[in-house]
C-alpha cells in the first residue's frame, strides 16, 4: 500500500509540474504596441525572446530540462516523404550556433552544416538526397531535435541545403508553426512555483514585470518615458505603489542639458562641494553599461539629475520600498540581481523577485579613492541630508539579505536610482 501511495504521489507531482500555461502580452501608457519581450526564468536562468504578437507557452519538465518535449512544434520537415526537395522549418528555443546533420540508415553522416540561428522561425530547402531512409538532427548547445525523412528521389547524390526564409516579422511567421495565429508560439521549460522576469520593449520604452505563473495569463506592461540628459533610455519596474528605474543612472548631463563635471583626480574629487560624477576606477568602458556612474551628493541635490518627471528618492521613499518588501533586514535579496555574474559568491538571498536588479557598483570614498569592493557592495544615495556634511544612503552586500541605512559624507561617490514623480 505504501508503494502504491508513493507512485500516486509521484504521478500527481509530475502532473502538477507538467501543467502548461500560455502567456500573452499587452502594452499601455506611453505605448500600446510591443516590439519584443525578453523572458528570464530567475530560478533556472533559462531565457527566451519573443517578437510582436508571439505567445509564450510554458511547458512543465521534471528534473533536467529536455527541450525535445516541444520538438513537434520546433522542427518540421515537409513534404515527407521527399520527392525532389523538402523544406526544414526550425524554431530554436534560443539563438546560437547549431549543427544540422543527415545520417543514412547505417548511421553514417552523409551531410553536415554548421550555422547560426536566431530564436524565431527559419526555413531551409534540402535537395540532392538519394532514395532511402534518413535521420536528420538539429543540435544546439542545450537542445537536440531529430526526425526521420523518407526519400524517393532520383538525384546526383550531391546534397545541398539553402536558407530560403528568415521569418522575423509577425506576418512572415504566420506559418504551419502557428496554425494561423497572429504570432509564433515560443516554448520554454517551466516548473510550478518558478518566478519569471519579463522585460517588455516598445521603441525607447522598457518595462519589467515579474510573476509566478499559475494559469493562462496576459502580462500588461505599463510604459513610461524615462530618458536622461544623454538620451539614455531606462527600463522601469513597479514595486508596490512606486515606479523605479531598473538600472543605475549613467547620465553625464542634467536633464536641462547642462554637463555634469567628470572628475578623475582623487585630490580634486575630495575637495569638491559642487556636482561631479565619475566611472569606477576611471574606466568608462568596463563599468558604464552595467553599473552606471558614481555621483557625489551635490549632483543629487541639483534636482535635475534624473530624467524629467523622475527624482532621486528621499530617505522616506527608500524606507517605503523596504517596508513594502518586509523591512530592511530582508528586502535586499528581493532587490538584488540573482546569480554571481555581477555579484561575487554567495550573493546571499538574491531572488530579484521585484525586478529591481540591484548591482554592486562600488563607491568612491575618503580622499577621493575608489573602494576595493566592486561586485561586493552597492551604495545608493537618497535625496535627504542628515546634516551639513552628510546625507542618507542605502547599500546592499553580497553576503547579506539586508539593506543597511547609513549617512555618509556628501563628497563620496555612490550609485543613483530614480523614482517616478
What does the DSSP assignment read for 69-121? Answer: GGHHHHEEEEEEEEESEEEEEE--SS-EEEEEEEE-TTS-EEEEEEEEE-SS-
Write out the three cell numbers for 265: 583626480
For the segment 72-131, what is each residue's pLDDT rounded down to a tens digit? 668 889 888 998 889 898 888 888 899 999 999 888 999 999 999 887 788 899 999 999
How many helices and strands (H and E) does the chain possess? 7, 25
Q: Assign 382 a pLDDT band (cuts: 50, 70, 90).
A: very high
Sorted by sequence, the CB contacts under 8 Å of residue 66 that are 6+ apart come out as 189
Single out the residue of 128, 163, 178 nearest to residue 149, CA to CA.
128
- Residue 310 is given by DSSP the state E
Integer angstrom CA distances of residue 228 from 209, 251, 408: 22, 6, 26
Instruction: Quickly tell me which residue has 511567421 as its cell.
Output: 173
Q: In the predicted model, what is the mean pLDDT of residues 287-309?
A: 97
Cα angle 172-178-182, degrees, rounded to a multiple of 5: 65
Q: In the predicted model, what is the mean pLDDT of residues 317-342?
A: 96
Q: Assign 61 a pLDDT band (cuts: 50, 70, 90).
A: very low
pLDDT of residue 166: 57
Q: Give, rounded to a whole angstrom, the gap between the first and last alpha carbons of the chain.
A: 63
Give yes or no for residue 161 having a pLDDT over 50: yes
**Average pLDDT score over the chain:** 87
Q: In the predicted model, what is the mean pLDDT of residues 397-412?
A: 97
Q: Do 210 and 354 contact (CB within 8 A), yes or no?
A: yes
Write out the three cell numbers for 215: 494559469
Instruction: Quickly tell me which residue has 520527392 as its cell.
Output: 83
Write out the three cell numbers for 375: 561586485
Phi first, then psi, for residue 259 (nearest 5°) are: -70, 145
- Residue 174 is given by DSSP the state -
Instruction: Quickly tell me which residue has 544615495 as its cell.
Output: 381
pLDDT of residue 319: 98
Q: Which of 3-17, 208-222, 341-355 has the lowest mean pLDDT?
A: 3-17
Q: In the predicted model, what is the mean pLDDT of residues 288-311?
A: 97
Alpha-carbon dihedral sign for residues 226, 381, 211, 118 = positive
Integer angstrom CA distances of residue 192 from 19, 288, 410: 8, 37, 47
pLDDT of residue 400: 95
Q: Assign 12 a pLDDT band (cuts: 50, 70, 90).
A: very low
Q: Do 354 and 243 contact (CB within 8 A), yes or no?
A: no
2-60+190-222 and 69-166 agree in CATH topology:
yes
Domain 69-166 has CATH 2.60.40.1930: yes
Q: Is residue 351 helix, strand or coil?
A: coil
Write out the three cell numbers for 281: 576606477
The architecture that CATH gives domain 2-60+190-222 is Sandwich (2.60)
Alpha-carbon dihedral sign for residues 79, 166, 199, 140 = positive
Alpha-carbon dihedral sign for residues 398, 244, 197, 327 = positive
Sorted by sequence, the CB contacts under 8 Å of residue 134 that are 6+ apart come out as 102, 103, 104, 105, 110, 148, 149, 150, 151
For the segment 177-215, what is each residue's pLDDT rounded down to a tens digit? 333 344 677 878 888 899 999 999 999 999 999 999 999
Sorted by sequence, the CB contacts under 8 Å of residue 404 that are 6+ apart come out as 328, 394, 395, 397
Estimate to the nearest angstrom the gap between the alpha carbon of 65 and the chain centroid: 19
Give dist(CA 83, CA 26) in Å, integer: 44
Q: Assign 220 a pLDDT band (cuts: 50, 70, 90).
A: very high
Alpha-carbon dihedral sign for residues 298, 302, 306, 312 = positive
Give yes or no for residue 174 having a pLDDT over 80: no
> Domain limits of the chain?
2-60+190-222, 69-166, 226-420
Q: Do 289 and 396 contact (CB within 8 A), yes or no?
A: no
For the segment 123-160, what is each residue's pLDDT rounded down to a tens digit? 899 999 999 999 999 998 888 888 999 999 877 789 99
pLDDT of residue 78: 85
Q: Assign 62 a pLDDT band (cuts: 50, 70, 90).
A: very low
- The better pLDDT of the pair 270, 63 is held by 270
Q: Is residue 52 helix, strand or coil?
A: coil
Q: In the predicted model, what is the mean pLDDT of residues 295-314?
A: 97
Q: Assign 164 a pLDDT band (cuts: 50, 70, 90).
A: confident
Q: Which of 7-11, 67-71, 417-421 has the lowest mean pLDDT?
A: 7-11
Give dist(CA 190, CA 44) in Å, integer: 9
Amino acid at each position: 500500500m505504501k508503494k502504491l501511495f508513493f507512485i500516486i504521489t509521484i504521478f500527481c507531482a509530475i502532473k502538477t509540474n507538467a501543467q502548461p500555461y500560455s502567456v500573452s502580452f499587452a502594452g499601455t501608457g506611453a505605448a500600446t504596441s510591443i516590439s519584443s519581450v525578453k523572458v528570464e526564468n530567475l530560478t533556472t536562468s533559462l531565457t527566451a525572446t519573443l517578437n510582436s504578437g508571439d505567445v509564450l507557452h510554458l511547458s512543465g519538465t521534471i528534473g533536467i530540462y529536455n527541450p525535445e518535449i516541444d520538438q513537434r512544434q520546433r522542427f518540421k520537415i515537409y513534404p515527407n516523404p521527399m520527392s525532389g526537395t523538402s523544406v526544414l522549418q526550425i524554431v530554436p528555443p534560443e539563438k546560437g550556433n547549431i549543427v544540422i546533420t543527415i545520417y543514412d540508415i547505417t548511421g553514417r553522416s552523409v551531410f553536415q552544416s554548421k550555422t547560426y540561428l536566431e530564436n524565431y522561425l527559419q526555413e531551409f530547402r534540402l535537395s540532392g538526397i538519394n532514395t532511402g531512409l534518413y535521420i536528420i538532427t538539429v543540435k544546439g548547445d542545450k537542445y537536440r531535435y531529430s526526425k526521420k525523412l523518407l526519400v524517393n528521389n532520383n538525384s546526383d547524390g550531391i546534397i545541398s541545403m539553402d536558407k530560403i526564409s528568415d521569418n522575423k516579422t509577425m506576418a512572415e511567421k504566420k506559418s504551419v508553426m502557428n496554425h494561423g495565429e497572429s504570432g509564433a508560439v515560443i516554448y520554454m521549460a517551466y516548473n510550478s512555483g518558478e518566478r519569471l522576469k519579463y522585460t517588455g520593449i516598445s521603441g525607447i520604452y522598457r518595462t519589467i514585470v515579474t510573476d509566478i505563473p499559475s494559469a493562462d495569463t496576459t502580462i500588461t506592461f505599463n510604459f513610461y518615458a524615462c530618458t536622461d540628459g544623454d538620451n539614455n533610455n531606462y527600463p522601469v519596474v513597479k514595486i508596490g505603489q512606486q515606479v523605479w528605474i531598473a538600472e543605475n543612472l549613467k547620465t553625464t548631463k542634467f536633464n536641462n542639458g547642462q554637463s555634469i563635471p567628470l572628475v578623475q583626480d582623487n585630490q580634486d574629487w575630495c575637495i569638491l562641494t559642487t556636482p561631479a560624477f565619475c566611472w569606477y576606477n576611471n574606466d568608462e568602458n568596463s563599468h558604464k553599461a552595467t553599473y552606471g556612474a558614481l555621483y557625489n551628493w551635490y549632483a543629487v541635490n541639483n534636482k535635475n539629475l534624473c530624467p524629467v518627471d523622475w527624482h532621486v528618492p528621499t530617505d522616506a521613499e527608500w524606507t517605503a520600498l523596504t517596508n513594502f518588501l518586509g523591512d530592511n533586514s530582508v528586502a535586499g535579496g528581493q532587490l538584488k540581481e540573482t546569480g554571481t555574474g555581477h555579484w561575487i559568491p554567495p550573493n546571499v538571498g538574491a531572488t530579484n523577485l521585484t525586478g529591481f536588479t540591484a548591482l554592486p557598483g562600488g563607491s568612491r570614498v575618503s580622499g577621493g579613492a575608489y573602494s576595493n569592493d566592486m561586485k561586493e557592495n552597492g551604495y545608493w544615495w537618497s535625496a535627504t541630508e542628515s546634516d551639513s556634511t552628510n546625507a542618507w544612503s542605502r547599500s546592499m552586500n553580497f553576503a547579506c539579505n539586508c539593506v543597511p541605512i547609513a549617512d555618509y559624507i556628501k563628497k563620496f561617490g555612490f550609485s543613483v536610482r530614480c523614482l517616478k514623480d
